Structure 1
Amino acid sequence: MTVSAWVFIAGSRWSEVHGTDANLAMAISRRVPVIWVEPPISAAERVRTRSSMRTRSHDLAPNITAIEITTPPYPSRPILRSVADRHFSAAIRAFAVRRNITVEATVVATPRADFPQLPGERVYLVTDDWLAGAELMGLSPQWVGRKLAGNLEGADITLAVSPVLRDRLVSIRSDAIVHVLPNGSNFDQFDFGTARPPDVPAANYAVLCGQLNERLDIGVLEATVDAGAHLVVIGPVTTRDAGSREAFEKLATHPNVRFTGEKSRAEMVPYLVHASVGITPYVVDSFNRASFPLKTLDYLVAGLPVVSTDLPASRWLEPDGVVNAATPAEFASRVVELSDRPNDATEDRRAKQKTLLAAHSWAARADQLLGLVRGSAGAGREAASRASTA
């Protein structure tokens, strides 16, 4: 029996912290089966770990199957890149044929891949300013630029997570039609009556969730706790920069700071419920200006006010309760001010959550994308068009 499915060519492994690609794939999978294509593994790595060279598959969740493809050795070397790309594309096609899968859409959500030769709609999901962040990812900016230009030409639908990123893509290919599909939130089930976690301060506190890396402005964090705010930090330290790692380790010793380490989404709920304010202290640079931080929506859906450094995506969310700060001192002042306020009543937070989820859940984003792919003139195209003019 033939099965219709979507193919997601991912920018990160499913086992890593879930970003835009994994969250959207999960939401799409509740509507149509998804084939999640993990970033390829070099044959040299397979030899080193004595693992099979075959394309392997396994179920990740209901309606999501992952495939792992082995590419020729040293695929990052220029002379072997085209060979590796062709092999990767052929392996995806072969898997679809073996499983009797009719591909409705292929989503490329990585700066490293081209569109494979598959039927169906080609969706280019640009989750960050990959050109600005190329060196941070260990990639050649020239190579990333060529990939972007080629995929913009080959895509039937191009999506960017923010208006700034949309404009960057149009500057690369002036005739590209780029829809804005912002990030969403998965926090659709909150128990606002949950007990206060034992490892948080007795005082009101701000919360910072997510990966701790070079994208965060450590100076803003230091100013915030030095101003008297209590801060609970939830997430793994993933920075590759020794200076940043040392700065986070120093921050962890501040008497107003609690580091919990990484938590599952379910484990994060009590920390968000009992917080007074969420913070998004990103460095304001080209890469972050084009981003749409996932954490900001998670805070809002938890019913929290948010203080953010001055990012375009945060300005877009100001009507929903985001306060933007231009300097570390202003950021710290606003966090202290909001921390001093009592939490909203539970019913008020539930009402706010319901309103925000209707507009900003990953389920809503999946419906918008399905509408675009299936040529809908309804909610999907209208919602993406509204965001495109933001």
Structure 2
Amino acid sequence: MDRDIEFIIFGEDWGRHPSSTQHLISIIAKQYPVYWINSIGLRQPQLQAKDIRRIIEKLMAFIHRPAITDNEVSPKKLKKIIKPLVWPLARNKTMKYINKKLLETQLPQKKHYRVLWIALPSAIEYIELCQADLIIYYCGDDFSALTGVDHDKTMQAEQTLSIQADLIYVANRQLMARFPKHKTHYLPHGVDLHLFQSQHACPPAIDKEKKNIGFYGSLNNWLDYDLLQQLALARPQFQFYFLGNKDCPQVQQLQNENIHLLPAIPHHQLASYLQHWHIAILPFIKNRQIKMCNPLKLREYLAAGCPVISSDFNAAAEYSPLVSIATTQLEWLSTIDRITQLTPHQVAEYKQKAYQCVQHDSWERRIEKIINTIQKMRSSTTE
């Protein structure tokens, strides 16, 4: 395996949440030098509290810490974390020029064959600064469907990026048609099999004596709060656990005594909760963003062997019948009742089938495929 390859990554803020890019790059960083560039946003900041807080966070990170920091966070082999001080999706020439000059001073000197990995289309303005030998666009989301995004500017950037990129990976099959066929590859999300298969002690917050139903992730406006409240009311003997940041006002609807709102926890602790739930759920509303989503937790639920009930969307339907699809409150309740009445033997059978379904989906396997493709493309350009 060639070691003289280095990676520059344009992604979200490192450590802010466990994205697919961070999982993938964590594996790459064990073998190659990686320079991670924190988020360059997907819309113009506005004069509102949320944006002002983010601007202050960016300024504080830039002022109080070096622009490039060594071995700052896990994984320890991550070479550098670059905290850019640029204005997202700048529209006038002066601001674009200032942005480029600011970032140019922060970029590392090129030492090896350089792969530029772009997970956010807003990085399009900075490609020429990076001296890349190979440009990869990793499309993990349908940005045209995401909330809080400048859709017009982001999609224009993505279209330009799809032309400039040498290689494109998409995490959702439905996104394949958007990009040139000859250089676009389907790369579904992976899963940390060791983490979710290893046995973990039950956390004190979980009542082991009762039937437990759970969800982890952002408690945002894409969850069906009306449904969740009705499920908890209809089945007071079951406990409902939600782990995550409360990111929308609708969360306040969940006031039932058998609903437990727990704070977000580090990714490596999630398995300890998941393994002690009887059912893991994906209770999403129906919209375009959900239709095109491919949540990491779906494969994590399966790897842990926890029976899954989900709203109807493409990624979940691919795993039916291991993932039970429910579209009405009655279907949700009947499926909950069926699963909670499974015998220990039936639960063991499910665990085995669920694991077999994802046993070849480790993040390491995904990276093996990526590195092989990079090496082939590198060889073809040097022949």
TM more than 0.5:
yes
- For 1:219 and 1:108, the matched residues in 2 are separated by 38
Compared CA separation, residues 66 and 227, structure 1 to 2 (3 A):
farther
Deviation digits for residues 169-215 of structure 1, max 9, x if unmatched?
Answer: 24xxx666422211121241357654433322321111101111122
Note if 1:162 corresponds to 2:172.
Answer: yes
Q: Which runs of 4+ in 1 moved over 6 A?
A: none
Note if 1:51 corresponds to 2:63.
Answer: yes
Partner of 2:28: 28
Displacement of 1:26 in angstroms is 0.8
Q: TM-score, normalised by structure 2?
A: 0.81
Give the 3-state SS of the residue equivalent to 1:113 in structure 2.
helix
Count residues with an aligned counterpart: 353
Partner of 2:50: none
Deviation digits for residues 144-190 of structure 1, max 9, x if unmatched?
Answer: 121011000011111111112223x24xxx66642221112124135
Partner of 1:87: 101
Compared CA separation, residues 224 and 84, structure 1 to 2 (3 A):
farther
Compared CA separation, residues 90 and 308, structure 1 to 2 (3 A):
same
- For 2:184 and 2:59, the matched residues in 1 are separated by 42
Compared CA separation, residues 304 and 354, structure 1 to 2 (3 A):
closer
Give the 3-state SS of the residue equivalent to 2:262 in structure 1.
strand
Displacement of 1:225 in angstroms is 1.7
- For 2:15 and 2:369, the matched residues in 1 are separated by 26
- For 2:17 and 2:68, the matched residues in 1 are separated by 22
- For 2:66 and 2:269, the matched residues in 1 are separated by 37
Note if 1:366 corresponds to 2:367.
Answer: yes
- For 1:216 and 1:188, the matched residues in 2 are separated by 29
Displacement of 1:35 in angstroms is 1.5
Partner of 2:336: 335
Partner of 2:156: 146
Counterpart of 1:128 (choices 141, 148, 151) is 141
CA contact (8 A) 2:35 2:82 kept: no
Compared CA separation, residues 103 and 198, structure 1 to 2 (3 A):
same
Compared CA separation, residues 87 and 146, structure 1 to 2 (3 A):
farther
What residue identity is the alignment partner of 1:33? P
- For 1:353 and 1:104, the matched residues in 2 are separated by 38
Give the 3-state SS of the residue equivalent to 2:8 in structure 1.
strand
Compared CA separation, residues 344 and 160, structure 1 to 2 (3 A):
farther
Partner of 1:62: 76
Give the 3-state SS of the residue equivalent to 2:122 in structure 1.
coil
- For 1:87 and 1:268, the matched residues in 2 are separated by 41
Deviation digits for residues 70-120 of structure 1, max 9, x if unmatched?
Answer: 445x4554215532553366346x4133xxx31442110013211623232
- For 1:24 and 1:287, the matched residues in 2 are separated by 23
What residue identity is the alignment partner of 1:95? P
Deviation digits for residues 316-356 of structure 1, max 9, x if unmatched?
Answer: 2226x111122343233323321332456897677557534
- For 2:312 and 2:68, the matched residues in 1 are separated by 44
Give the 3-state SS of the residue equivalent to 1:205 in structure 2.
strand
* Residue segments in structure 1 that go unaligned for 5+ positions in a row: 377-390
Compared CA separation, residues 290 and 341, structure 1 to 2 (3 A):
same
CA contact (8 A) 2:85 2:103 kept: no
* Residue segments in structure 2 that go unaligned for 5+ positions in a row: 46-54, 378-383
Note if 1:226 corresponds to 2:260.
Answer: no
Note if 1:184 corresponds to 2:196.
Answer: no
Partner of 2:127: 116
- For 1:285 and 1:176, the matched residues in 2 are separated by 30
Give the 3-state SS of the residue equivalent to 1:200 in structure 2.
coil
Compared CA separation, residues 17 and 161, structure 1 to 2 (3 A):
same
Counterpart of 1:274 (choices 273, 276, 285) is 276
CA contact (8 A) 1:39 1:68 kept: no
Compared CA separation, residues 227 and 110, structure 1 to 2 (3 A):
same
- For 1:372 and 1:154, the matched residues in 2 are separated by 18
Partner of 1:206: 213
Partner of 1:19: 19
